[in-house]
A and B are shown apart, each in its own frame.
Chain A
């Protein structure tokens, strides 16, 4: 399957600070990146979709000014949680996609666990 990395794997920060999460698609060019989050003991929820070189599209209820997504290259997308608060504590997972890569399998990064104190 696709090789996807995320950094950091785990981060603890103080309330009010910003945290940047990197997602790298290591073995194919991701024209699209999906960002999901998962609260404890819950399912995954799609937060936003970004296309390389374009602005991200956010799902209903997700604040675009709080969750900044940059998808400047085909191998790197970043999610920045600005002014993080304890309710933002969650597991954030990226999922790259490419039309040329086929529509079938959809792989996920290893995730970043964010804890906001």
Chain B
């Protein structure tokens, strides 16, 4: 059974600081996703990582994937208040052409001024 764990569950940061959210998963998968969720809203797609060593960056967020370690990281650089949200990683379960996703526990990020 595929299990996806994130840590930390809650992260309070000061503006301007850097931090990393970790996502570990238990079985092999060829696709890993990162999403952002604002309170009361649905999911916003951030990154899709498809191969070992993949690194993607958008603004102050950078995601990487190590399929051998079954680990993905979401690095936040020089945090700003607008980044406050809950961040989820999700791993594709099974093969096939569609994406049945198993979600991590989520990380609630609060960026303090």
A interface residues, Cβ below 8 angstroms from B: 1, 31-32, 34, 42-46, 49, 93, 95, 97-99, 103-111, 113
Number of A-B contacts (CB under 8 A): 57
What is the bound-complex CA distance between A86 and B42, given in angstroms? 22
B45 at the interface (CB under 8 A from A): yes
Question: Out of B40, B48, B88, B96, which one reaches A44, CB within 8 Å?
Answer: B88
Q: Are B88 and A106 in contact (CB under 8 A)?
A: no
Q: From residue A103, how far is it (CB to closest CB) to chain B in Å?
A: 5
Most A CB atoms within 10 A — which of B33, B41, B98, B103?
B98
Question: Out of A42, A104, A111, which one reaches B41, CB within 8 Å?
Answer: A111
Given contacts A43-B103, A43-B105, A93-B42, contact A104 B98 (CB under 8 A): no
List the B side residues contacting A113 at CB < 8 Å: 40
Q: Are B42 and A108 in contact (CB under 8 A)?
A: yes
Q: How many residues of B contact A (CB 8 A)?
A: 23
Write 20 A-B pairs (CB below 8 A) sorted by A numbering: A32-B98, A34-B99, A34-B100, A34-B101, A42-B106, A43-B105, A44-B43, A44-B103, A45-B103, A99-B96, A103-B31, A104-B50, A106-B48, A106-B90, A107-B45, A109-B42, A110-B41, A110-B42, A111-B41, A113-B40
B62 at the interface (CB under 8 A from A): no
Q: Are B42 and A49 in contact (CB under 8 A)?
A: no
List the B side residues contacting A99 at CB < 8 Å: 96-98
Q: From residue B11, how far is it (CB to closest CB) to chain A in Å?
A: 15
List the A side residues contacting B43 at CB < 8 Å: 44, 93, 108
Q: From residue B74, how far is it (CB to closest CB) to chain A in Å?
A: 15
What is the bound-complex CA distance between A117 and B102, given in angstroms? 30
Q: Which A-chain residue is minimally distant from B101 (CB atoms)? A: A106
Q: Which B47-99 residues have C-beta < 8 A from chain A? A: 48, 50, 88, 90, 96-99
List the A side residues contacting B90 at CB < 8 Å: 44, 106
What is the bound-complex CA distance between A32 and B99, given in angstroms? 9
